[in-house]
Amino acid sequence: MPSLVKAYIISIAALATVVVAIAALRWNPRSLTQFAALFGLALLASAMKVQLPGFKTTISTNFVFILTAIALLSFSETVLLGLGGALVQSLWKTQQRPKPVQVLFNGACLTVCAAAAYWVSHSLAALSGAGSMAAMMVVGAVVYVVLNTGLVSLVVSLAERIPLKKIWPSCYEWTFPYFLVGSAVTGLANAASHGTTWGLTLVVVPVMYCVYVYYRMHIIRAVLENISHVSQQSEAVLAGASQGR
């Protein structure tokens, strides 16, 4: 692993450690029952994951509950929910046994993203005086998506020595529709359920499961089409070579 990549991962891990320490010192759950319910749902959602083509990483539906936590829970609860979801997403039913450094980076990345989304959304809400749930979720979603895709794209860029401007758009291409639909569903569900956990569960979980299944099928189809295209190109090259003999 290049030294620059190691330094980057260590810096993100150190930042995440500071975030977790702050969350522990400021532990002030608003409702342990609500936190336990959302935490369990986030862990369940973390198991519904798909691997992005061209990336050694996955995305899951746990971000919808991170957005909900931003609007309904405290900073400490949101950070813990993000960290727990990241660990399940990294370790649960993986195709290959993940390396410790991969688990470390994924956990640190989601921890930092959840903390940043919470801090920015609540800070802007306090400054503008518009502390509505919808406003905080919109701001939180934007910060979370931009930061999450940016951190992942940067580590891939450093590891494979590919310009960031080529990696980041590709990451956005696959993740943005997923995040967009999930954010919209979460916002509508929170508004309809008035922030109640059971109302949110009844609406969000079935819809996000359908989104997950569709997106998984879409990615599998795209990968198979790419393999078929490469195979056809190889056959054309071999045919041309045989004709030239």
Q: Which DSSP string do the residues of 199-229 spell out, in sequence order?
A: HHHHHHHHHHHHHHHHHHHHHHHHHHHHHHH
- Cα(107)–Cα(110) distance, rounded to whole angstroms? 6
Tokens coding 1: 């692993």
For residue 186, what pLDDT is reported?
A: 66
- Give me the residues of the chain with pLDDT under 50, please: 227-242
- The DSSP call for residue 8 is H
For residue 227, what pLDDT is reported?
A: 45
- Cα(84)–Cα(14) distance, rounded to whole angstroms? 17
- Cα(12)–Cα(14) distance, rounded to whole angstroms? 5
Tokens coding 198: 């059971």
Per the DSSP assignment, residues forming a β-bridge with 51 are: 58
For residue 195, what pLDDT is reported?
A: 55
Please report the domains of the chain, with CATH numbers, ordered by start residue: 3-243 (1.10.1760.20)
- Cα(139)–Cα(187) distance, rounded to whole angstroms? 12
Q: What string of H, E and C letters represents the secondary structure of 37-76? A: HHHHHHHHHHCCEEECCCCCCEEECCHHHHHHHHHHCCHH
For residue 89, what pLDDT is reported?
A: 85
How many helices (H) and strands (E) would you count in the chain? Answer: 8, 2
For residue 62, what pLDDT is reported?
A: 82
- Sign, CA dihedral 221-226-229-230, equals negative
For residue 229, what pLDDT is reported?
A: 43
For residue 234, what pLDDT is reported?
A: 44
